[in-house]
Amino acid sequence: MIENILANFSARFAGAIINFLILLLTTNYLGLDARGEISLIQLALNILHLLSDVAGGPGMVYLVPRTRLRPLLWIGYSWALGINAVFGWLVVHFGDINPEYQWRVVAIAVLLSLHSVNQNILIGREKIKHYNGLLLTQALLLIGIMSACIFSHYQYSAVAFVTAGLIGAATVFLLSTFFVFRLPDLPSLKIIE
């Protein structure tokens, strides 16, 4: 138990440091205009994530150990896709996000919403190492790809963030899906002595 708490704290602390480095990277190399666009993109992603977490969020952590996995996945994925289909374009369009990459922001929102369902299932099945690994992987991919876009491809705009976000979200979604589909459909029965 203590080991899981320390591992989770360490992963979150490392993620916070990486996010701070991303903030420094964007403010020092991309400028204020790009930083403003990135903030609007993050706001849109957070709004869509909050809406999609209604059915696929923390409540699922409670249900996962008590229920079959496949129906929960179906409900969580359907809700995430439905919410992003209905509200994704509205949030992105009225959030004053550049039309050049609006569809990519919606794609990131979909991938992050589906990944959130997977993460909550992993937590519910007590796969904390997988959860922490995915948390760190996403942060490292984001800063690594952004750095490559800025320093190798000379992209000094919010496109660097959007590209890194799309690749990072797709990667962690595929990894988390791999982990989730390796879980048994039925929860394990624990005998209390």
State the average pLDDT over residues 76-104: 89
Residue 191 pLDDT > 70, yes or no? Answer: no
Residue 87 pLDDT > 70, yes or no? Answer: yes
Band (58; pLDDT cuts 50, 70, 90): confident
Please tell me the distance from the alpha carbon of residue 106 to that of residue 104, in angstroms, as a whole number: 5
Element containing residue 156 per DSSP (H, E): none
What local confidence, expressed as pLDDT, does residue 192 receive?
47
CB distance 70 to 110 below 8 Å: no
Residue 188 pLDDT > 70, yes or no? Answer: no
Band (190; pLDDT cuts 50, 70, 90): low
Structure tokens at 72: 């929960």
Please tell me the distance from the alpha carbon of residue 143 to that of residue 124, in angstroms, as a whole number: 29
**Tokens 């129906």 belong to which residue?**
71
Residue 133 pLDDT > 80, yes or no? Answer: yes
